């Protein structure tokens, strides 16, 4: 199938059995929702995902090397802390009088004013979204979660690009930092990270095999090899600097075809389509009052907070890379940044 033929269907490549299971999901007619649950599930933390995904939700738990539980990371881990703004986007939908619940993934951006997700989630391609909320800090069954209401009328969206920027109606806790938006396009073969809620389950981290394809399309799509499931739509695709370089929207990757890929939308294409999505140059810096991102805000108390000091080190690395002080002649694209960042993150644990 073509990569955009079923914008709501997502696949993974973890195992042959898993592939067959997801293929069964993909065989369903294309619809606005990644999957459907009874309307009574809306507002709950733990969802009855097996009702619509069969054993696929159990397979996620068994594939910890691919769908790594974020709960395994320390609470002060920089990646866990800097992606608290990524949450499960719960949707209550009315489709010709039939109500059902589904979920996607969304990311708080714009200094806490909006959520970035997929257009087939909000406003959706079929049916009407009548209520929406984003669930934060869902790491496991015992998590102290936070639910914030989200508007159902987008501030900006494009069905072709499959992105949507929707208003956040409730205030964001001060310690939840909006995720940064990258100003540069993704590189061919660049190592990536995805943070998402596949099958509506607790937050997962996908790093294993997660990368951009070696040849990038000249179109707006970001072709990637990051494993996903229904519920991953709208998830942020992060570069080594933990900035959003794309949002996931479509499956297509299979385990037996190394040339297959999943697809997202490049953030540079989103920035070209709307001026409402803020980049680091647009937002305000709580440290100086001029220009910042959520990641940079973590350095506010770096001298007294070891975790914040780690964020400061990350910022310094990013600044050095942008300034060209890391010699690209001796490194493959992004490799020096990734290696140094891993040392910083691992050294903080």
Strands 98-109 and 37-38: antiparallel
What's the confidence (pLDDT) of residue 291?
Answer: 45
Domain boundaries, the chain: 1-279, 299-347
**Which positions ≥6 away from 127 have C-beta within 8 Å?**
32, 33, 93, 94, 95, 96
Q: What CATH topology corresponds to 1-279?
A: Thrombin, subunit H (2.40.10)
Residue 206's pLDDT band (cuts 50, 70, 90): confident
Q: Residue 141 burial (CB < 10 Å; 0-12/13-18/19+)? A: exposed
Are 13 and 255 within 8 A, CB to CB? Answer: yes
What's the confidence (pLDDT) of residue 287?
Answer: 32
Single pTM value for the model:
0.71
Radius of gyration of the chain (CA): 19
What's the confidence (pLDDT) of residue 163?
Answer: 95
**Which positions ≥6 away from 142 have C-beta within 8 Å?**
none
> Is the model's pLDDT at 124 over the cut of 70?
yes
The closest alpha carbon to 197, from 235, 247, 162, 167, belongs to: 235
What's the confidence (pLDDT) of residue 212?
Answer: 78
Please tell me which of 256-265, 273-282, 314-323 the model is most confident about, judged by mean pLDDT.
Answer: 273-282
**Which positions ≥6 away from 272 have C-beta within 8 Å?**
none
Residue 212, token pair as written in the block: 């951009």
């Amino acid at each position: 199938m073509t990569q955009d033929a079923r914008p709501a269907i997502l696949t993974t490549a973890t195992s042959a059995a898993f592939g067959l299971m997801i293929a069964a999901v993909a065989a369903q007619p294309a619809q606005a929702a990644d999957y459907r649950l009874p309307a009574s599930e809306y507002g709950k933390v733990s969802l009855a995902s097996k009702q619509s995904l069969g054993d696929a939700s159990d397979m996620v738990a068994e594939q910890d090397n691919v769908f790594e539980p974020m709960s395994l990371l320390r609470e002060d881990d920089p990646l866990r802390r800097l992606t608290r703004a990524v949450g499960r986007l719960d949707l209550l939908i009315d489709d010709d009088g039939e109500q059902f619940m589904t979920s996607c993934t969304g990311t708080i951006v714009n200094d806490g004013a909006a959520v970035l997700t997929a257009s087939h989630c909000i406003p959706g391609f079929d049916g009407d979204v009548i209520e929406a909320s984003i669930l934060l800090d869902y790491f496991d069954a015992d998590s102290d979660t936070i639910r914030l209401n989200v508007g159902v009328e987008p501030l900006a969206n494009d069905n072709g690009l499959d992105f949507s920027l929707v208003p956040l109606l409730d205030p964001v806790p001060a310690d939840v930092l909006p995720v940064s938006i990258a100003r540069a396009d993704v590189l061919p073969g660049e190592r990536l990270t995805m943070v998402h809620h596949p099958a509506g389950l607790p937050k997962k981290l996908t790093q294993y095999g997660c990368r951009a394809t070696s040849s990038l399309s000249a179109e707006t799509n970001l072709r990637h090899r990051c494993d996903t499931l229904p519920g991953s739509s709208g998830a942020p695709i992060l570069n080594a600097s933990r900035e959003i370089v794309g949002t996931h929207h479509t499956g297509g990757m299979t385990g037996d075809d190394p040339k297959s890929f999943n697809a997202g939308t490049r953030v540079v294409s989103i920035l070209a389509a709307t001026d409402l999505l803020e980049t680091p140059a647009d937002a305000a810096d709580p440290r100086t009052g001029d220009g910042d991102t959520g990641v940079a805000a973590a350095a506010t108390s770096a001298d007294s907070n070891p975790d914040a000091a780690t964020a400061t080190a990350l910022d310094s690395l990013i600044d050095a890379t942008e300034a060209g002080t890391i010699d690209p002649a001796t490194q493959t694209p992004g490799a020096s940044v990734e290696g140094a960042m891993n040392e910083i993150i691992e050294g903080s644990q």
